[in-house]
Structure 1
Amino acid sequence: MSAGYVSQLINMITGDNFANYINNYRVEAVKEMILDSDYENYSLLAIGLESGFTSKTTFHNAFKKSTGMTPNSFRNTNK
């Protein structure tokens, strides 16, 4: 399958574009890492980068769009 076809399928099935679809999976990975005590000494940026985000801005914006809160607020809420 071509990348374009896969992207089109994701758009049709989820109603979202490919980038948002992937970022939602990354945000879920970030949330799991924040809740995992093995990562308590990691900075939020390090966790975001470890989850596949390529910049602080993209990470922050995607996290807030998906959860309605900043990564820091999520961490503080779930301590």
Structure 2
Amino acid sequence: MNNYFGCNFKQLINSYRVKYAKSLLDGDRCLVKDLFKESGFVSKSAFYTAFHKRMGITPLKYLATKSDGGMNL
């Protein structure tokens, strides 16, 4: 798995979870406070860490840039 995807299993799963969370945010289909549960994370801190690592910003900043129309991600 490491050779094929370039990451371990946990990182791969988290990348899919973050991608799903991003789609929820893009579609305004979930409250931010419930986002970590909806995207499969056990804790809010694990979600924020994974989101920031993958996207480079926090979920709230992502929403703010999306609202401003300045998405450069």
Q: Distance in 2 between matches of 1:58 and 1:38?
A: 21
Is the helix fraction higher in 1 or 2? 1
Q: Distance in 2 between matches of 1:13 and 1:74?
A: 29
Give the structure with higher Rg (CA): 1
RMSD, aligned CA: 1.1
What are the Cα deviations for residues 10-35 of structure 1, in whole angstroms up to 9, with x where unaligned?
A: 21201101111000000000110001
Runs of 4+ aligned structure 1 residues displaced above 2 Å come to none
Cα separation, partners in 2 of 1:45 and 1:11, compared to 1, 3 Å = farther
What is the identity, as a one-letter code, of the residue corresponding to 2:37?
A: L
User: Structure 2, unaligned stretches of length 5 or more?
Assistant: 68-73
Matched, 1:23 2:11: no
Q: Distance in 1 between matches of 2:17 and 2:24?
A: 11
Q: Percent identity?
A: 36
Q: Distance in 2 between matches of 1:18 and 1:59?
A: 16
TM-score of the superposed pair, with normalisation by structure 1: 0.78
Matched residues, number: 67
TM-score of the superposed pair, with normalisation by structure 2: 0.84
User: Structure 1, unaligned stretches of length 5 or more?
Assistant: 1-9
